[in-house]
Structures are given as C-alpha cells and as structure tokens.
Structure 1
C-alpha cells in the first residue's frame, strides 16, 4: 500500500482543477445550470417530475408532482388503494406502452410477468451460488450482465426482442435479489439459506414477500404497502442518474444487459439509490442521541449537531431532506408517510414515524439557522422508505436492491424510447485546460 500512497501523491500534484475555472468557462457541473435546473438533454413521453416554477428567472416553490405518461401518481395510487388491488403491474404497462391497460390486457400482462420469473436452467447455481457477494447490488449487476450468456438473441435489437428482454428482467430481478441475499447471509453471516419456490399468479409485491420471509406469511396490508413503494419508485424522469446512465449506454448501441447493469451500478451510489440506507442509519443515531423523541427543542438541537458535523455520520447531511427538483413537497414522501402511518399505528414503529415527522417539520428552520439559507427544503421519499422497509421486515441490505427491482420498469421504458426515437450517441463536451508542452526524453526528466 505504501507504493500506492506514493502514486496517489504523485497524482495529486498534476490533476487538481481550481473551482473558479468551472465558473469562468461556464461549465455545467453535474449537467446543472447555474440556478440548479438540469441541462435539457432530450425529450420524453414517459415521465414529468415537477417541483417548481420559474417566475422572472427565479425558482418559485410549488407542491411536487410525479406524472407517469401524463397521469398523476397520486391518482394511480389512490385508485389502487380504493379498489384494494395491486398497481405495480399496471404502472409497468403504462410506463412502457404509454397507455392504461384494459382489464383483459392487465390480466394477460400480469400472467406474462408471473410466467417470466423463472431463471434460466443452472443460472442460480453457476452465477449466484458459486460466487457469493457481500453486496447484493453488485450481485444484481453481475447477474444481469451474466444473463447475456443465457440468451441466444442477446444482440437482437428488434422491438420484439427488446420488449421480451426488458419484461423478463423486470420479472426476474426480485427472484435474483432474494436468492443473492440468501447466499450472502449463508456465506458471510453464518445463517441458514432458505430458498422458496415461486408461487404462480402472485403480484410483484406478494412475490417478493413470499420469497423473502422464512414462513412465507404476510398480510394483505403489508403486501399493498410494498406495492405502493414499488409504484412510487418505478420511475422518476430521464434525468435521474441511473436512468440517464441507461440512456447514455443505450445511445452507444450496446446490448440490453450491459445498459441495465450500468444503471444498477449507478443506483448503488450513496448520492442516488443508496440514500435510503443512510436515512435509516441516521434514524439510529437520533434514537440513541435524543432522550425525548417528542421534544421539538431536543430534536431540533440534535439536527443542528448533524449539520455542524457534531453528530450522525459526520458528513453534515440530514438524510431524507432536500431534493434536486422538488422544493415544497415530494409527492412520493407524502403518499408513503400517509399510508405507512396507518400500518404503524399501535406498533413499535409508530414512535419512529413520529420522530421522522419532526425531522421533516423542523429541518427547514434548523437549516436556515445554521446555514443562513432560506431556500425551500422538503422531505424526499428516502426519509420514510427505509423505515417502511424495516416495518415490512425487509433486511437493510435489500433497501437499494428493492429500489432497483422497481426502477427496472422506468429503465426499460427509457431504453426502448431512446432506441426508437433518438438514434444518436450522447456525447457532451469537456473543456481541455492542459497547456501544450513538448515531450521530454526520459534521460532529461
């Protein structure tokens, strides 16, 4: 390692880019404009994430809206709740095909998805069991990439084959996720590995809980809450990091499995899908550091310590608060909070939900006091999703993989749209700032 440290010091000598150069060349760092809005890179039918309006060039906070194919997510979720039915499969159909399915179309599609969950022969033994991973996200990416070798038509980019591969991956990913988790707990944690057979006809949410729980038992309320989570995480516009990754890779002409494996790698990052784990860990710090969880002054004081890097994980971040687009509210957080609280009432989790509600209430004021910034800060979906998953007895190491299982729907819709509308490789420019200099022979260096 000493040699590596020396090489790192050598790297630091010649590779620093002064921050002022980004401003002088008007560089869109992170593909963001100076006002924080995203640089427009394309057009899409699939999703609109609306979180503010521009009033004479300045952001004006508004209630957030998440719109799938022109339909507000609130209307989709509320209808499924009212009718006590599962909605994720309907959302997948809507995102990919562009229209709500009829009853018959939905039944046929749900059956197709159920029939597509089986993995290829020997895939589990060769690709999951024989190569355990301590991180399920990495195992998902590797497994998706490995499915290329089990597909005779892996390079066929026709619409029919792309549709088949995408729908199969949406159906198979939860199966791979649970199996990878079971291998992980057996190999690394010394626990028993329990593998259940698939139950035909189950919804995606029922399938996940059935495969994951040792006794296979779950309530209808638990399955419907997980179904809501799946619907909320299925898509979030073409500009989010993992979806943009998928579109960038797709634009190069690479195969289906490579594009989706890259998207999974992006989602793993703590600045993206991995944020839900950090929120859950932050809650643990708060539970230990706050004596009275209902005392607003004490909670606010602890939040100040987090911002000042005196508490929490030392990053100065209050996880679950703030969003790149949403300003006044994140509709996913509002839906999740409302429906999760119903299931939490009267349980050990009720007090934790109330504590998170105080985090949502107090953070904007605390942020203004500590940072002196009065910008609008709202809760995002990660504030509540981690606790919801714990309430559903989902292990922490599956929080982000579960996100990936849901987001496969959005990735699929965007990959197919990119393939059949754009047909141009995505290639942004970088400003070269190195000065020209002559080559020096090695004897004179």
Structure 2
C-alpha cells in the first residue's frame, strides 16, 4: 500500500512539474524577431561575427583575422601572453629542457618574465601551498564525493573561503596570496576529487598521494592521479605544454569574462573563481574536447577501416549532414570563433602529440586525427566554396593527448580549469586595479503591461 501511494505521489509530482515546465517555457520565450528589431548584440557578437568591445586587457591577446572594411580577412592565428608570442614562450622553455607552466603563471600574474631566482621563489610558494587545509581532504572531498569533478572543484573553492582568515580583503597583496594558493591547490583538488569519484561510484581502490615538492604542476598531476606515481619525461612535457596552451585566452572568452563580471561587483576571490569554473563546465566552453573523444569513438564504431581515407571522408560528410554521430552537424575540434587559418595552440600541441604518439606506439591513432583535420578542410571547401577557411582548434589534439596520457575523460575539463586558473586570477587582479566600475549591460524589456488580479478572480 505504501509503495502504491509513493508511486501515485511521484506520478502526481511529475504531472505538476511537467505543467510548470510547459508554463515556464511558454512565458520565457522571446520573439526572435525582437532581437533584430532592437539591434541586440546576441552573445555580445556584432553582425560580422566579431566580439562587442566591452573592456580592455593587457593580459592575453587572441588574433585570428584582420578586419578590413568591416569584413574578416583570414590569417594564421597568433596568441600572446602579456605581449609575448606563445610560440616564442614554448620554444624558450622547451629549448632549456624545463617545464613552462609556472613561468607562464608568473608572467600572467605579474606582467613580466621571471628571473631564475624569481621563478625559484615562485615555485617554492606554489609548493608550500599545494597541500589542502587540515581535514579538508577527508571532510570536503572524501566524505562528499561527486560524479562530476568540476562540481567538486567549484564547491571546494567556495569551502576554501571558510579556511581563509582574511577572505574578503580585495587588496592586491591579499588577492595575489589567494591566487597563488588556488593555482597550487587546483591539481590537488581535482586529483583527490577524481580518486574519491572512482572509489565511491566505480568501486575502484582509493589512492591519495600527497603533492610532491620540486616537480611542478604537470608532474604533480600525473604523480597524484596515478596509482603507482610513475610517468615518463615525454608525458610530463606534453601535459605541461597542454597546461601552458590553456592558461589564458584573452578577456572575452566566457569564463574570463565571468571573472571580470563577478570581480567588478567587489566580491571575494573564491566567489569569482568559482563562477569561472561554473562557466567553464558548460559544454559550449570547456567540455569541447570530451565531445571530440566521443566523436572519435563513434567514427571507430562506424567506419570499418579508419585508414581508408575515402570511407573516413564519407562518414565525416554524414556527420556534417546531421546524419551521423549526434546529428548536430558539427565536426568537433574543427573551427573557432576567432581563429581562421590556424589555431596556434593546436599547431604546437599537434607537434608534441606526434612525439608522444611515437613513444606510445600510437602513430596510427595520431594519423586518424590528422586525417580528420585535413578531410574536414577539404569537405568545407567542397560544400561551401574554395574561399571558406576552417582549421583545427586545440580541442582536436588535447583530447587525443589526454587519451594517450591515460587521463580519464572526467578530468579533461578539470585540467582545463587547472591551467586557466592562472589566467582567471590575472584577469581578476586587472579588473580590481584598472576598472572599479561594476559591469552592468542593458536589457530591453519587451513585456506587456498587465494588471494585478486578486487571487480569488484568477483563472
């Protein structure tokens, strides 16, 4: 009898919820014609596809086209951190046979390249901050596991507020201290969050490795996420490069802009960075490389011979025609909102991915990604004309890199956040120092004037 009552109540609750959902859908749908009528910059984009200028930044610059006579002219993409070309940064630390993420974090936060002593001091600060507060791991992570590591990361950031003796002070000195601690702790949080997830939901053994001093961010991630702590030099170099390439991407990307918006209200660092994490979690922003991985798995299932260029091209055409994969007509990992001829991050990561593929005996797998890139470019020219320009973006090869590193897909987006927190913190400081005005764009109300009706008279 109790089960029957529960089923009845559940059915009743679902019926009410469906009614309310229909009501909410009906009364929240704005006539699409209004956006054109009122010249609304939907997505903060101009009609020509360029972004609406809403701020200034000296942190990162993304250049993917030349604007001439209000038209985009394609160019090879360039990415700058504090005015320095990312290619030069990567070449610099790779030639010196050392990791680059910590140097990049320093550059983004302080606006200059560190000297050898400054970099050593910064690394020491990070090492001193990598451990989580007392009982935090047990009480916040292990006792409250989450199936989604981004959700765990976001909650952990907010709980760190409670462990901070001076959380609301937004002086540059205090925000810098908080920023360094967050940059240092993100790898620990996502590593422990993943271990808690696999233990509680996947019935796997629990491994909690303390962060190790002197090995840097990328190596600590590999060290803490792997049961045996083991990794190769090429693996560490590849993950470090991925972190470097994801550390910053201008002030207009969704999560960086969220950081600016929330910081402009005068709130604390933890609230601002948690908001950025929430933004990055969205599949339109930080989850793209997961979609690449799922697309690749679908291609392998449906193309009998992935080395057959003709069969692969035919299936990619089906994807574009919304006849295959998720029927959305997108080849994930191809195209970008700003980059046209090339994404410099994809170019750099592709070279390192091949090096890792050789070590992992995965060159055939690498060739699949390379063929998808080349065939998609061909298909776009055939379908949309010779003048159409499209290129691979960083997500095409980052997912492949993570797969070769045996990093589970649950950590793909958290790794993105771990890299990007340096950029977020830099943007937060820039907002606090340079522009104290709260960000408040306008919204045009298109509602009709209505009279209030007493409850007893409503139908």
- Please give the secondary structure, in 1, of the residue aligned with 2:427: helix
CA distance in 2, matches of 1:381, 1:327: 13
Partner of 2:194: 181
1:272-311 matches, cutoff 5 A: 272-311=285-324
Q: Which moved more, 1:104-113 or 1:290-299?
A: 290-299
- Please give the secondary structure, in 2, of the residue aligned with 1:60: strand
* Aligned-pair CA distance for 1:390: 1.1
* Aligned-pair CA distance for 1:361: 0.9
Partner of 1:407: 420
Partner of 1:234: 247
Partner of 1:313: 326
Q: Deviations over 1:148-176 (max 9, x none)?
A: 00011001111111000000000001001
Matched, 1:243 2:256: yes
Instruction: Give the 3 Å change call, closer, same or farther, for CA 351–154 of structure 1 in structure 2.
Output: same
* Aligned-pair CA distance for 1:55: 1.9
CA distance in 2, matches of 1:13, 1:189: 40
Partner of 1:170: 183
* Aligned-pair CA distance for 1:45: 0.7
Q: Which moved more, 1:294-303 or 1:207-216?
A: 294-303
Matched, 1:153 2:155: no
Q: CA RMSD in A?
A: 1.4
- Please give the secondary structure, in 2, of the residue aligned with 1:345: helix
CA distance in 1, matches of 2:273, 2:386: 38
Matched, 1:117 2:134: no
Matched, 1:126 2:139: yes
1:52-201 matches, cutoff 5 A: 52-201=65-214
- Please give the secondary structure, in 2, of the residue aligned with 1:440: coil
Matched, 1:351 2:364: yes
* Aligned-pair CA distance for 1:308: 1.9
Q: Which moved more, 1:224-233 or 1:346-355?
A: 346-355
Partner of 1:266: 279
Paired residues of 2:380 and 2:388 also in contact (CA < 8 A): no
CA distance in 1, matches of 2:228, 2:450: 69
In structure 1, stretches of 5+ residues that fail to align are none
CA distance in 1, matches of 2:142, 2:121: 33
CA distance in 2, matches of 1:4, 1:444: 20
Partner of 2:8: none
CA distance in 1, matches of 2:173, 2:93: 30
Instruction: Give the 3 Å change call, closer, same or farther, for CA 271–102 of structure 1 in structure 2.
Output: same
CA distance in 2, matches of 1:225, 1:10: 50
Q: Deviations over 1:7-39 (max 9, x none)?
A: 122223333222222112111000001111111
* Aligned-pair CA distance for 1:307: 1.5
Paired residues of 1:113 and 1:171 also in contact (CA < 8 A): yes
Q: Deviations over 1:247-271 (max 9, x none)?
A: 1000011111010011001001000
Paired residues of 1:46 and 1:68 also in contact (CA < 8 A): yes
Paired residues of 2:333 and 2:392 also in contact (CA < 8 A): yes
Paired residues of 1:53 and 1:62 also in contact (CA < 8 A): yes
| Superposition misfits of 4+ residues, deviation over 4 angstroms | 368-374
* Aligned-pair CA distance for 1:82: 1.4
Partner of 1:32: 45
Q: Deviations over 1:53-100 (max 9, x none)?
A: 012221000000000001000001011111111111000000010000
Partner of 1:204: 217
Paired residues of 1:307 and 1:370 also in contact (CA < 8 A): no
In structure 2, stretches of 5+ residues that fail to align are 1-13
CA distance in 2, matches of 1:268, 1:317: 20
Relative to the length of structure 2, the TM-score reads 0.94
CA distance in 2, matches of 1:393, 1:281: 15
Partner of 1:432: 445
* Aligned-pair CA distance for 1:342: 1.2
Relative to the length of structure 1, the TM-score reads 0.97
CA distance in 1, matches of 2:384, 2:29: 27
Paired residues of 1:91 and 1:231 also in contact (CA < 8 A): yes
* Aligned-pair CA distance for 1:368: 4.6
Paired residues of 2:131 and 2:210 also in contact (CA < 8 A): no
- Please give the secondary structure, in 1, of the residue aligned with 2:167: coil
Paired residues of 2:360 and 2:404 also in contact (CA < 8 A): no
Q: Deviations over 1:183-237 (max 9, x none)?
A: 0000000000111122211111111111111111111111111110010000000
Matched, 1:223 2:236: yes
- Please give the secondary structure, in 1, of the residue aligned with 2:27: helix
CA distance in 2, matches of 1:371, 1:139: 43
- Please give the secondary structure, in 2, of the residue aligned with 1:15: coil
Paired residues of 2:259 and 2:272 also in contact (CA < 8 A): yes
* Aligned-pair CA distance for 1:316: 1.8
Q: Deviations over 1:101-121 (max 9, x none)?
A: 111111111111111101110
Instruction: Give the 3 Å change call, closer, same or farther, for CA 187–444 of structure 1 in structure 2.
Output: closer
State how many pairs are aligned.
445
Matched, 1:329 2:342: yes
